[in-house]
Structure 1
Amino acid sequence: MRWVTYATDRVGVIGEHRIHPVAPGVSWVELIGWGAEELRVTGEAALASAAQTVLLAEARLGAPIACPPSVRNCLCFLDHMRNCREPDPAAAPDLDQMTLMAMMAGRALS
């Protein structure tokens, strides 16, 4: 399936040179969060729906995810802590402890 964002914030599936919309208010971030199976089901439902379609050639396409959520790399924090430690090593936590904290934070994100 080929997915698009159009008309500023609508999400749809391309079929037969037309955009078949998903329910209003559903964002790409939501669709991705639902997982692959639900994404497939939603796309098939949009293609089968009797909802008003839009000619692909006439649609104003937008960025797939206009405002993507932020994802942070916890290992950058470890580098930051190492740099903070340089001026006064006695005032900063132990590097082994910081490495363990960064690894645990990384597991929490996955």
Structure 2
Amino acid sequence: MRNKLIIISFSLLFSGATLAQGGSGLSQESRISIYPNPAVEHIIVQLDSEFSNAEFELNSMIGNKLQIKPEEVGINKYKIPVKDLATGYYFLIVKDEDKRFKKAYKFLKH
């Protein structure tokens, strides 16, 4: 029961709500696309041009931080391999310290 409460709490915390956002001029609805969802081999992250110093963090559903190596494949476009991950839900956290922006996005790995 305790594990279920922890997972539910973590899920609610990272259910796509903005974690921190300052008055930097970024709109409430950030212009970030993550696809395909569900993913099999990789996910693509397309950022708006307003992001100058974006960083990525990947967490499992239970909160374990996972190592990732984003590859820049275009201007503000990144490819993140997920092929070796177990099937399940994950949270990709997009951060930009310069813009005081941090938001979590949920995706499914098949």
Answer whether TM exceeds 0.5 for this pair.
no
What TM-score range do you get, normalising by the shorter chain? Answer: under 0.3
TM-score when normalising by structure 1? 0.20
TM-score when normalising by structure 2? 0.20
Report the structure number with the largest CA radius of gyration: 1
Q: Between Structure 1 and Structure 2, which shows a larger proportion of helix residues?
A: 1
Q: Between Structure 1 and Structure 2, which shows a larger proportion of strand residues?
A: 2
